[in-house]
Amino acid sequence: MLALQEFGIRLIQSIQAFSPALDGPMSFISFLGTIEFYLVIIPALYWLADPKLAFRFLLILIAGDFLGSSLKLFWHQPRPYWLGTVKGIGSDPYYGLPSTHALNSMGGWGFLAAKWRKRLFTIFAVIIIFLIGYSRLYLGVHFPHDVLLGWLLGAGLLFLFVKYENNISDRLNALPLNGQIGLAFLTSLAVISAGFFVRAIVGDTPDPASWASFSTESRNLSNYFTLAGALFGASAGYALMRQSALVLLVGNPGKKLFSYILGMIILLAIWQGLDILFATLAVDESQLGFTLRYIRYAATTLWATYWAPKFFARYGMGKQE
């Protein structure tokens, strides 16, 4: 591992020779692999184009983030700038191996490319996947082997997802509504349990003291509650929506844009509003803090997948398909 890190540091140092000229563009490209960006893209896809595709896109991102977070905690490897030999243009308080940006970009954008099968979009997806990985090197937050492993895991997840999604979906859709929602809740609890299990395996293995000021949240389990809440809210909302009919925004482009912006304003109000409210009640590592985080993300994705479409249909902005 030390040999890989030394090679990676030399490569990153050569890449960062372009700093600060590319700091802004690389930071923007890296943003394309964040939860904030997907928070904008997924509702647009769900409300305007294809709810089924958008829901599955979200699922593969949640699965990728879960896999990446678990391996990060299990291997507890540093990020390049933690070692003090490269510039930390970006920052991240969690462990580095593998890169979840690389994993999710390969899984998510690869999934859309596999479904749409449009040559130009496939080329676009390949470029985005590469640039997101490259940006993580440039920003000093990942070693090359972090990114390569992320791409490899993302490709494996993509293969499994595309191969088995329809079979699994058919089985789930055969369940009654309460069975689908109950299974979604149990799966979300399994995600949380996995986080505690992995942290128990790692135990009290100490990190080097030099990492202390950087890895402030490296063993915090809050991300598992984020993923679990998002999974439950999205799955329950999608199941409820399918019971009536899926809804797409209607009208001319201006009306659709207005409806989308209105839906996003409410979504962000829920996401940020609950964050502000809950921050006054608990900290992340408390039992209450974890529970409130779960509720926050469940409410956000439930709005996107169920409440917003019902709202659109109720006020003439959307039509049931």
The pLDDT of residue 277 is 78
Q: 123 and 231 share a domain?
A: no
Q: Are residues 107 and 45 in the same domain?
A: yes
Among 32, 46, 29, CA closest to 300: 46
Claim to verify: residue 20 and residue 157 sit in the same structural domain? yes
Nearest to 166 by CA among 101, 95, 229, 115: 115
> For position 55, what pLDDT does the model report?
95
| Cβ atoms < 10 Å from Cβ of 119 | 9
On whether both 83 and 230 belong to a single domain, the answer is: no
For the segment 51-65, what is each residue's pLDDT rounded down to a tens digit? 999 999 999 999 999
* Range with the poorest average pLDDT among 100-114, 198-212, 280-294: 280-294
Mean pLDDT of 27-54: 92
User: Do residues 159 and 291 share a domain?
Assistant: no
75-103 pLDDT, tens digit each: 989 999 988 888 888 888 889 999 999 99
- Is residue 239 located within the same domain as residue 104? no
DSSP at 217: T
> What's the N-to-C CA distance of the chain in angstroms?
53
Which position has the higher pLDDT, 15 or 321? Answer: 15
Q: Is residue 122 a part of any domain in this protein?
A: yes
Is residue 112 situated within a structural domain? yes
Answer whether 222's CB lies under 8 Å from 290's CB.
yes
Which residue do the tokens 């997948």 mark? Answer: 305
Q: Is residue 106 part of a domain?
A: yes
Q: What's the rounded Cα separation, in Å, for the pair 48 and 54?
A: 10
Q: Is residue 134 part of a domain?
A: yes
Contact 94, 215 (CB under 8 A): yes
Q: Do 15 and 152 sit in the same domain of this protein?
A: yes
Domain end among 99, 134, 166: 166
Chain centre distance of CA 146: 17
- pLDDT higher than threshold 60 for residue 239: yes
User: Which of 238, 244, 247 shows the shortest CA–CA distance to 181?
Assistant: 238
Residue-level pLDDT at 19:
77
Are residues 160 and 287 both part of a single domain? no
| Average pLDDT of the chain, as a whole number | 90
Amino acid 284: pLDDT: 55
Residues 161, 242 share a domain = no
Residues 254, 259, 264, 266: what is their CA dihedral angle, to the nearest 10 degrees?
A: 140
Place of tokens 């509003």: 273
Burial of 178 (0-12, 13-18, 19+ CB in 10 A): exposed
- Same domain membership, residue 148 and residue 12: yes
What's the DSSP call for residue 178?
Answer: H
Pick from 138, 166, 194: which residue ends a domain?
166
In this predicted structure, the answer to whether residue 229 has a pLDDT above a threshold of 90 is: yes
Cβ-proximal residues to 76 (8 Å cutoff; 6+ apart), any chain:
95, 202, 205, 207, 218, 219
Residues 24 and 140 in one domain: yes
Query: Could you read off the pLDDT of 276-308 as tens digits, one per residue?
Result: 877 666 555 667 778 888 999 999 999 999 999
Q: Domain with 136 in it: what CATH number?
A: 1.20.144.10
Q: What is the pLDDT of residue 188?
A: 97
Question: What pLDDT does residue 282 have?
Answer: 55
Mean pLDDT of 127-147: 95
Please, which residues have CB within 8 angstroms of residue 225's CB and are 6 or more apart in sequence? 192, 195, 290, 291, 293, 294, 297
Per the domain annotation, does 299 fall within a domain? yes
Whether residues 276 and 134 share a domain: the answer is: no
Strand partners, 318: 249
pLDDT reported for residue 238:
95
Q: What percentage of the chain carries pLDDT values higher than 90?
A: 61
Does residue 130 belong to any structural domain of this protein? Answer: yes
Domain carrying residue 37: 8-166
User: How many domains does the chain contain in total?
Assistant: 2
